[in-house]
Amino acid sequence: MIDKQTLARKLGVDDLETLPRDVSPRHYFRGNKDGKAFIVMLYPDASAENLNELKGFIDIGRWLDEQGVKTPSLYEISEQDCYGVFEDLGTTSFGKCYHQGVLDKPNLYAFGTDVLVRIKDAEHVIDGLPHYSQSRINQNRRQLLDYYHAYRTGVKTAEGKVDEFFNVWDEIEAGLPPCPQGFVHGDFHLENLMYCEAEKGIKQCALIDYQDALFGPLPYDLVNLLEDARIDVPDDIRQKMIKRYCAGMSEQEEQAFLCWYRVLCAQFHGRVLGLFIKLAAEQERDSYLIHIARLQDYMRKSLQDPVLAPLKAWFDKEGVDFTPLNELDGNHIRKVFRNISFP
């Protein structure tokens, strides 16, 4: 991977500010040239996969812009070093707005919901998006067993049990009405929504980090927004935003949407439970562990839904436990997983 000093020289600036990383292998930097602030998104190497992802990010941004959704403008791309230089949308995420009171919470979530409505109502979806059913998001439902359940039991989950787990989900989904499909951002939470005060209308809510976008179940992004793994969303706001999103749907369409919303909630929370244990075990990113109790609570509530009765029965049979953990320490997690082979 190109080093920061070389990257700065290529961009014609003296220095770049290293920005915090997300859970991906990408690196981010902030710079300023001729009075114009920019962000660099740098991949670890120029493999075909990484380059295709970078180009996909650019194409998706262009499509979103055509729908009236604000995204960072592209300034420059290097295929040789696999980086893109984009408009800097500032440092005020909707997460910061939430915590600092920049926007009141109902208005904040209304912005995010209205962006999703605009995407839902697009006349066409950008071609070439991977399908959700074949995605890492869908496959990584198994992380609930591979990491969370394995940590609680100290035993690696057998592949046969993982297959049973997926079969239970197949059984549940087969009994549901068809799910509305469309563009799925895939990581639609407050830190990936940027507040652009100088813009008007929904363009004040700009999107970032959409390189993993998919074609799939439309409720997924609303689940991401309203069932946040990192913060507590007031239930009255959650219900109002669901109604806001579903406005104009027929009764049948709304019922199908809500049914899938509840199912995707359980899948989302289970996957993230496993992910946060995995990040602590493999990357010593222990800051995510503070959210485990919230996710366990989400799962306990989800499993009260009659639609998920087959899943609850399977969890009960297999001893998959969502009762609170009294102690959750990254060092202890890593000690447990030293004796477990990762999948």
pLDDT tens-digit series, residues 233-262: 999 999 999 999 999 999 999 999 999 999
Band the pLDDT of 341: cuts 50, 70, 90.
Answer: low
Quote the strand ranges of 139-284, DSSP E. Answer: 181-184, 193-195, 205-207, 214-217
Distance CA 207, CA 214 (A): 15
- Check whether 21 has a pLDDT greater than 90: no
Band the pLDDT of 10: cuts 50, 70, 90.
Answer: very high
pLDDT in tens, 66-93: 999 999 999 999 999 999 999 999 999 9
Average pLDDT over residues 264-281: 97
Contact 113, 241 (CB under 8 A): yes
Contact 40, 32 (CB under 8 A): no
- Check whether 201 has a pLDDT greater than 90: yes
Average pLDDT over residues 271-295: 95
Average pLDDT over residues 99-116: 95
Which tokens in the block code for residue 335?
């000690």
Average pLDDT over residues 312-332: 94
Average predicted confidence (pLDDT) for the chain: 94
- Which CATH code for domain 4-87? 3.30.200.20
Average pLDDT over residues 11-27: 89
pLDDT in tens, 22-63: 768 899 999 999 889 999 999 999 999 999 999 999 999 999
| Domain residue extents for the chain | 4-87, 94-337
Average pLDDT over residues 170-185: 96
Residue 326 confidence (pLDDT):
80
Burial 167-199 (b: 16+ CB within 10 A, else e): ebbeebeeeeeebeebbbbbbbbbbbbbbbeee
pLDDT in tens, 124-163: 999 999 999 999 999 999 999 999 999 999 999 999 999 9
> Would you call 145 exposed, middle or buried from its count of C-beta atoms within 10 A (0-12, 13-18, 19+)?
buried
Distance CA 148, CA 150 (A): 5
Q: Judge: domain 94-337, CATH 3.90.1200.10.
A: yes
Q: What residues have CB less than 8 Å from 167, skipping those under 6 apart? A: none
Q: What share of the chain is helix, strand, coil (3-state, %, to 5)?
A: 55, 10, 35
Distance CA 335, CA 108 (A): 41
DSSP bridge partners of 17: 30
Residue 342 confidence (pLDDT):
54
Element (H, E) at 30: strand 27-33
- Check whether 343 has a pLDDT greater than 70: no
